[in-house]
Structure 1
């Protein structure tokens, strides 16, 4: 498993584990990113937020937050 922040654009990944504080996990699951969710990395540029597409929604998350989301390629 690797963190979401390290993944390549135009590929799909399944969320396998969420790390972080209870507040972070609560917030990230409330926007639809839970274990088992398939996400597509739309944009992963060096100094920009990570753009992902999940559950018919475009989501922007910081690199720091994405580092706490562990995924495997689908």
Structure 2
């Protein structure tokens, strides 16, 4: 498994795990990111927020939040 920050732009993946405290998990799931959710990496530039497309919307996550999300790359 890879972290969300390991994806390259244009890669598609599915969320396989999310780790963090209750507040973080509540926030992430409330914006529609949960286990099984398909994503597409739109922007992944070092020292910048990660921009992904999931659930018919663009979502920006800071790098620390993105490190806690495990994904499986889709072929």
TM over 0.5: yes
Is 1:54 the counterpart of 2:60? The answer is: no
Q: Is the partner of 1:64 in helix, strand or coil?
A: helix
Q: Partner of 1:67 in structure 2?
A: 67
Moved over 2 A (4+): none
Q: Partner of 2:33 in structure 1?
A: 33
| Structure 1 length-normalised TM | 0.97
Q: Partner of 2:2 in structure 1?
A: 2
Q: Partner of 1:22 in structure 2?
A: 22
Aligned length: 74
RMSD of equivalent CA atoms: 0.5
In the alignment, the residues of structure 2 paired with residue 57 and residue 33 of structure 1 have an alpha-carbon distance, to the nearest angstrom, of 11
How far has the Cα of 1:60 moved from its partner? 0.2
| Structure 2 length-normalised TM | 0.96
How far has the Cα of 1:5 moved from its partner? 1.1
How far has the Cα of 1:7 moved from its partner? 1.1
